[in-house]
Chains A and B, each alone.
Chain A
Amino acid sequence: MSRELTLRDALREALLEEMRRDETVFLMGEEVAQYDGAYKVSKGLLEEFGEKRVIDTPIAELGFAGIGVGAAMNGLRPVIEFMTWNFAVLAFDQIVNNAAKTLTQSAGQFKCPIVFRGPSGAAGQLAQQHSQTFESWLGNVPGLKVISCIDPADAKGLLKAAIRDDDPICIMESEILYGHKGMVPDGEYLVPIGKAAIRREGTDVTLVTYNKMVLVALDAAAELAKEGISAEVIDLRTIRPMDYATIIESVKKTNRIVVIDESWPFAGISAEVAYAVQKHAFDHLDAPVIRVNSADTSLGYAPTFVEEFLPNPTKVIKAVKEVMYVTR
């Protein structure tokens, strides 16, 4: 049995269930308690778990991220919410230099089971400082795992798995898709970290993507179907470790691939996927790997800038036709 839930409520259920299951789990961040979360993901948690376990912080990302790291080293399982990953840049020292390094520096003496989570990516006309993605930044760092997923059922199962995982994990959600609905199974379940999902099966071209670009890819695939082009859509779900096997297997079937990646093009997720495909499926490719990224610029405020900046179905369809050598 399953029910329709928003991404926001699915994430809230994950937190609720894990906090009920394990007393060492606590939630800390700006506005997570009395305000119910800037995006209402933590609605009602203060009421059930009290101030000890649902903790409003001052605006001090570096400080409370570090407090989370210390608490994790000393036996707790913190979930640290950033109002947006853009603000988490202030905390990157703690994420990159400490959470990711604790286990190796201490040669296994101290683990750091912590979850950093919050929305990532452009969310309308929010301009330069509030429209960035960080999957590739953090995915670059050994010691971290990175999850980026907006499917409500999978996001719930992944957050639960992340809270139980003994390694430090960064989870990217989406500001504009907290209200996005999907069918969520009843009862207890986990989604494995490090496994991609095939959202739509196809035979002519593979579309690899993640987070809200999955919806862009699915829209493009639906349009392409009308023209007789069958696109397979892979949702990476986890960025690090990446599920290369699912990508390679798909490319061996379709012989063509387009990567749709909201991050900037330079040294990003799309580049990583392209490398893996040319390395492991070179002889299966009938066209170069093509990527559709956000523009190699900061995002300005005007609606025309947003339109120009982000990948959209039209851009994806154009890219697919390029790898299909279709000129119409």
Chain B
Amino acid sequence: MDTVVEKKPGTKKKSAASAYGKEQYLFWYELMLRIRRFEERALMMYGQQKIRGFCHVYIGQEAVSAGLESALIPGDGIVTAYRQHGIALGRGVSCRAAMAELYGKETGIVKGKGGSMHFFYAANKYFGGNGIVGAQIPIGTGIAFAEKYKGTNNLCVTMFGDGAARQGALYESFNMAMTWKLPVLYICENNGYAMGTSVERTSNVEEMWKIGLSFEMPSKSVDGMDPAAVHEAIQEAAAHIRAGHGPYYLEIKTYRYKGHSVSDPAKYRSKDEVQQYMDLDPIKTVEDLVLSKKLASEAEIQAIKDRIKEEIDDAVQFAENSAYPDGKELFTDNYIQADYPYITD
């Protein structure tokens, strides 16, 4: 097997980021900004009760989606948990379809059937947002199983949080994926908290990347506040997987600036701690870098900001103008069988 690379988590290596060109930086910047602005607006609309139900935002974690999307190839799949707007937007779900889904409208990405936790986008192999903590870990393993079965060169990125990593489903999945050398890239987005319970309160093993070691799975910790670091780690992992060596596991250390969900005031952590991470904000960091390296002008950056603002405004308008699904749509998409005899009395 490949050597397992031990690296102190949290140690900020000198970003190799400056090795990338304008196009790459602006790709990351634009995607991260789109996710940030989309969710900021979603929170605002939640406050106005336009959006209901559970709503878990990704703010602070955008570099993970950005680094993923620049490193994967068409044909690769992603499955993740319920903090998933950012991943879905990265997969190419439009702001319109995403916002309309949050509104519960028929023009949403899943026709108002899923809401905040359950976007799916088959066209780009986005296997969804999963609402049961950790349940997507075996599913992603199975998606990878199918890729190997069909003899493709694709992999499945299977994402979960530090909370889900304590589920038994992870143990079973890691074990079978290694036994069968499945093309699966496991990513633990470690944002420090399982809802309100900090990592060190959930296990003796605080360094999440070490979970892979007992399966002899190549395992690394990555700085998730830097899209370039994420991109590089994923490229390296993907090369290992595509070479037929089986799974790879990355702990991506990140942080959510907001609470677990809209109803969580996050009293379990200090303002200082939040500020510490906000100082590392990936969007601001990339913006500063692009400007200081003169890879893009202020005007170009402003143009991106304007474009995204327009996109979000348009998405909100689109969602506002769309209709709710007919209540009778409850009786579609439960079965492929078109004449399934529902009990109606």
Contacts and interface: CB of A to CB of B under 8 A. Distances in A.
A52 interface: yes
Contacts of B337: 165-167
A216 interface: no
Contacts of A98: 130, 132, 135, 139
A107 interface: yes
A327 interface: no
B149 A64 contact: no
A63 B173 contact: yes
B149 A70 contact: no
B336 A70 contact: no
A74 B336 contact: no
B149 A67 contact: no
B246 to A, nearest CB: 14
Nearest to A52: B149
Nearest to B173: A63
Contact of B138 (A70, A110, A167): A70
B135 A106 contact: no
Contacts of B146: 70-71, 74-76
Interface string B308-345: 00000000000000000000000011111100111001
Interface string A111-147: 1010000000000000000000000000000110100
A17 interface: no
Classify chain B: how many residues form its interface, as a range: 35 or more
Contacts of A105: 110, 113-114, 118, 120, 128
Interface residues of A, number: 44
B172 A104 contact: no
Interface string B129-168: 0111001011111111111011000001000000000001
A65 B265 CA distance: 37
Contact of A64 (B143, B176, B342): B176
A109 interface: yes
A69 interface: yes
Contacts of A225: none
A314 interface: no
Contacts of B334: 103-104, 142-143
A64 B171 CA distance: 12
A269 to B, nearest CB: 14
Interface stretch (A54-62, A247-255, A257-265, A299-307): A54-62
A47 to B, nearest CB: 19
Contacts of B145: 67, 70-71, 76
B113 A107 contact: yes
B121 interface: yes
A66 interface: yes
Contacts of B168: 62
A97 B114 contact: no
A26 B146 CA distance: 11
Interface string A221-265: 000000000000000000001000000000000000000000000
A69 B139 contact: yes
A50 to B, nearest CB: 12
B218 to A, nearest CB: 20
A166 B150 CA distance: 19
A52 B180 CA distance: 10
B127 A75 contact: no
A298 to B, nearest CB: 25
A67 to B, nearest CB: 4
A187 interface: no
B173 A67 contact: yes
Contacts of B118: 105-106
14 contacts: A26-B149, A60-B172, A66-B142, A66-B173, A68-B142, A70-B145, A70-B156, A71-B143, A73-B143, A105-B128, A106-B128, A109-B121, A110-B122, A110-B127
The 4 residue pairs across chains A and B that have the minimum distance between CB atoms: A70-B142, A66-B138, A63-B172, A166-B336
